[in-house]
Amino acid sequence: MPETLLFYVLAAVAVVASVLVIGQRNAMYSVLFLIASFGALSGLYITLDAPFVAVAQIIIYAGAIMVLFLFVVMLLNAPQEDAATWDRTNPLRRPGIGRIGASLAGLLVVQLVWALGRIAGLGEGVRAQGDAATLSSVRELGRILFTDYAFAFEATSALILVAMVGAVVLARKESEQ
């Protein structure tokens, strides 16, 4: 079963790299692990017979968006975060903010569990629209993306924008206060 083996290797890389993204104190390394994670995801798409999605993943996420992230991180020249010096006055460190973050994380877990529970039904829905050959064709993909899944498509782009603003806020130098 080379495909199964490949799946586990790529999935492990993706998960480990994603964990390392948030585990790094150096913003530069976080960006690089995120690129590695995207690379592994792209490999997973190839094993799913979706070469176009795999290549689009590399071009858009790993190629364009992450270059932009790298640019932002380099431009702000984020210093290595030091665990010992907490800045209590930083608005991001207030306990209320932490609670909002925690509740959002909890919400995300609930959503994930719910979504994973529905996956079997979702898979049927996609399969009903055509076999793997038509689904992997760029024409079909474009049609589905801009009709049935238009909302998810736009919501994802908003999510990326939020993440970008977050990166700018977190990586900014705190010298002028």
Partner 1 sequence: MDFGFVSQMLGAAGPFLRPAIIGLLIFIVFNALIIASAILVLAERKIMGFMQQRYGPYLVGPHGVMQPFADILKLLFKEELRPKGADKYLFTLAPVIAVVAAFTAFATVPFGAETTLFGLLEEPIKLGIADVNVGVLVVFAVTSMGVYGIVLAGWASNSKYSLFGGLRASAQMISYELSYATSLAAVIMLSGSLSLREIVDSQSGTWLGFVPQWYVFLQPVGFVIYVIAGIAETNRAPFDFPEAEQELVAGFNTEYSSVRFALFPQAEYINMVTMSAVATDLYLGGWHSPLIPTEYGWIGFLLKVAFILFAYIWMRWTLPRYRYDQLMQFGWKWLFPASVLNLLVTATLMLYFNA
Contacts 24+ apart (CB under 8 A), 156-164: 160/65, 164/68, 164/69, 164/72
CA 123 – CA 120 distance, rounded (Å): 5
Candidates 4-12, 13-21, 71-79, 84-92; binding stretch for partner 1 (CB under 8 A)? 71-79
Q: If binding is defined by CB under 8 A, does position 64 make contact with partner 1?
A: yes
Counting contacts by CB under 8 A, is residue 144 touching partner 1?
no
Q: Which of 9, 19, 59, 92 binds partner 1 (CB under 8 A)?
A: 59
149 binds partner 1 (CB under 8 A): no
Q: Give first-to-last CA distance, the chain, whole Å.
A: 58
**Based on CB atoms, which residue is closest to partner 1, 63 or 140?**
63
Please choose, out of 5-13, 63-71, 121-129, 168-176, the segment that lies near partner 1 by the rule CB under 8 A: 63-71
> Is residue 12 within the footprint of partner 1 (CB under 8 A)?
no
Q: How many CB atoms lie within 10 A of CB 139?
A: 8
In the numeric block, which tokens belong to residue 7?
């799946």
Burial class (CB in 10 A: 0-12, 13-18, 19+), 29: middle
Number of residues near partner 1 (by CB under 8 A) = 20
Residues that bind partner 1 (CB under 8 A): 28, 32, 35, 51-52, 55-56, 58-59, 62-64, 67-68, 70-71, 74-75, 77, 138
